Structure 1
Amino acid sequence: MSLPLLLFFLVFSISTTNSNGTNHPNFSAILFFGDSTLDTGNNVFIPTPIKSDHVPYGREFPGHAATGRFSNGLLVPDLLSSALGIKQLSPPFMDPKLSEDDMRTGVNFASAGSGFDDVTSVLPHTTPMSRQLEMFRSYLGRLRKMVGEEEAGFKETTRGCCGSGLIEVGPLCNTLTPLCQDVSSYVFFDAVHPSERVYKLVAAYIVQYVIPKLQ
């Protein structure tokens, strides 16, 4: 089992109205990336032997359901989403039954058995960090279509600002590589890593919402 990956929060400045007619607050979407300590069920939907959709997992989960969480109950993404008043559970992105409200309020990309190095995911056929970021790009594209260009907080969500934005990472992103004109409109700076604007949103959210809740 790999070491726990980064518990990464990404929040969007979206103000929407749900089916009950109540307004979601700003910064209402929270996303998670990681491994089995954060996976809320993505592995259930991929051909891997690393699953926990069977007893005794989930014995304290609502309805005593084994949902693919490697725990007897809830995980940190669920508890944190609930504590911040966003929603009760952190839904796996691979669940084909994801609702529009789930998409608006954030999803979970974590995959049990994955790691920062793609090699760790080859044998167990799990989802490495690079693939989780690809799913994140897909999520952003779907979200932009759902809420519109103005409410989606970025103009370019599928590629990085450096070069083509598809392969340039580390040494491939250098002084000879052309950059986009407006980095702040990009979610990613290079092909993998978020831009400073994204990190600022994450930091602001943690300072305003997470830290007060933990004190």
Structure 2
Amino acid sequence: MKQYSLILFLSIIVFFTTTTATTTLPVSLSSNATFPALIVFGDSYADTGNNNYLNTIAKCNYPPYGINFEGGTPTGRFGDGEVFPDLIAEGLGIKRTIPASLDPSLTPQDLLTGVSFASGGSGFNPRISQSRSALSMTDQLKQLKEYIEKLKQNGGEETTDYIISKSLFLVVAGSNDVPSATAGNFQLDVPSYTSSVIKLASDFMKKLYGYGARRILVVGVPPFGCLPSQRTLGGGLQRDCDQNYNDASKLFNSKLSLMLGSLSETLQDAKLVYFDYYNSLLELIQSPQKYGFEVADRGCCGTGLIEVIWLCNKYTASVCPNISAYLFWDGYHPSERANRIIISKLLDKSIPMLL
């Protein structure tokens, strides 16, 4: 993985101390990266700490979360270490990690190269977000609007247009919508509910485009039936994968992929690319030894059967002796090592389609 270069950092400092609204575009912003910034939306798979600043129970800013992060610090990331936005930014040479948009310590330099608006518990359906006191996708778009205004204040219209039009927009959502559909929470059958969510997702993409986004990468949902918590809840005595949940995931992903392909053809100069998270993770689950994992059906935290967020804490849950041997960190989220393997596939397969 490329490190965030000293040359890029210094060029950003110079840019902010010298630029005006009429200054020539700062070509140095993208000189050491494929994209000038990574701008992120979604749920717990992409939240880098926003829920720390919300009145929600969906928090993980306490040990043992973050045990493999820099200094072993719990930052509000839903895992033992770095999550999707961090690994993508690092892999693209943008910067080491992606900060949360609500972090009060954000600097102008942080804004230049991207932030995450994602919130654990969020979904395309606003009722999902509301029930968990998370930032809805609409809330995240409002934050994007504020973010763009801050860019204009610091760098001017021309530079802001450059950053927004050339940056990578990452959307990792749906992972709370699909389980709700399968559980029958909204009195709709799975095909009808997933179609309604896809309509909301399509509207979200169009609004992103309206704000100037042109390169949008959308991550599909995982095989929910094979996540440790769902194996425990719906997999019977043998804790098999729950096929009903997996079928719902596949249905949602197929509709999501088709919708993105259609928008790519209708939105001028836009590229919307779908990443197959389902099969990328399923391959690791079905062939763990191939990737050096010893345990693929339980999380590392506690018993590994169901623990997630408040159930995974330093007072009630132990940590497995060898995290690298576990595919999952908790009952819902993969470990950093698993995330790195998956993101390496994303960088190889999906990023070239956005260039």
TM-score interval, normalised by the smaller of the two chains: 0.5 to 0.7
Q: Does 1:24 align with 2:29?
A: yes
Q: Distance in 1 between matches of 2:271 and 2:206?
A: 22
Unmatched 5+ stretches in structure 1? 1-15, 155-188
Alignment of 1:165-176 (within 5 A): none
Going by fraction, where is strand more abundant, 1 or 2?
2
Q: Distance in 2 between matches of 1:190 and 1:116?
A: 8
Q: Amino acid of the residue matched to residue 193 of structure 1?
A: K
Q: Amino acid of the residue matched to residue 19 of structure 1?
A: I
Equivalent residue, structure 2, for 1:6: none
In structure 2, the CA distance between the partners of 1:17 and 1:88, relative to structure 1 (3 Å rule), is: same
Equivalent residue, structure 2, for 1:194: 208
3-state secondary structure, aligned to 2:150? helix
TM-score, normalised to structure 1, is: 0.67
Equivalent residue, structure 1, for 2:348: 214
Alignment of 1:1-215 (within 5 A): 17-19=11-13, 23-25=28-30, 27-153=35-161, 193-195=207-209, 198=212, 200-202=214-216, 213-214=347-348
Q: For each residue in 1:82-101, what CA deviation from the matched residue of structure 2 results, as whole angstroms up to 9, or x when unmatched?
A: 00000000100000100111
Give the C-alpha shift of residue 204 in structure 1: 6.1
Going by fraction, where is helix more abundant, 1 or 2?
2
Deviates more, 1:34-43 or 1:118-127: 118-127
In structure 2, the CA distance between the partners of 1:83 and 1:65, relative to structure 1 (3 Å rule), is: same
Aligned length: 163
Q: Distance in 1 between matches of 2:85 and 2:211?
A: 23
Q: Which has the larger radius of gyration?
A: 2
Q: Distance in 1 between matches of 2:83 and 2:205?
A: 30
In structure 2, the CA distance between the partners of 1:201 and 1:124, relative to structure 1 (3 Å rule), is: closer
- The CA RMSD measured in Å over matched residues stands at 3.1
Q: Distance in 1 between matches of 2:346 and 2:53?
A: 36
Give the C-alpha shift of residue 212 in structure 1: 9.6
In structure 2, the CA distance between the partners of 1:49 and 1:211, relative to structure 1 (3 Å rule), is: closer
Q: Distance in 2 between matches of 1:37 and 1:56?
A: 17
Q: Amino acid of the residue matched to residue 46 of structure 1?
A: L
Q: Distance in 2 between matches of 1:190 and 1:120?
A: 15
- Contact 1:33–1:110 (CA<8 Å) still a contact in 2? yes
Q: For each residue in 1:144-182, what CA deviation from the matched residue of structure 2 results, as whole angstroms up to 9, or x when unmatched?
A: 11111121118xxxxxxxxxxxxxxxxxxxxxxxxxxxx
Q: Distance in 2 between matches of 1:115 and 1:56?
A: 26
Equivalent residue, structure 2, for 1:171: none
In structure 2, the CA distance between the partners of 1:54 and 1:211, relative to structure 1 (3 Å rule), is: closer
Q: Distance in 2 between matches of 1:131 and 1:197?
A: 14
In structure 2, the CA distance between the partners of 1:144 and 1:212, relative to structure 1 (3 Å rule), is: same
In structure 2, the CA distance between the partners of 1:57 and 1:141, relative to structure 1 (3 Å rule), is: same
Q: Amino acid of the residue matched to residue 214 of structure 1?
A: D
Q: Distance in 2 between matches of 1:191 and 1:61?
A: 31
In structure 2, the CA distance between the partners of 1:20 and 1:74, relative to structure 1 (3 Å rule), is: farther
Give the C-alpha shift of residue 46 in structure 1: 1.1
Q: Distance in 2 between matches of 1:23 and 1:107?
A: 19
Q: Distance in 1 between matches of 2:204 and 2:348?
A: 33
Equivalent residue, structure 1, for 2:176: none
- Contact 2:117–2:143 (CA<8 Å) still a contact in 1? yes
TM-score, normalised to structure 2, is: 0.41
Unmatched 5+ stretches in structure 2? 1-9, 16-26, 163-202, 217-269, 274-343, 350-355
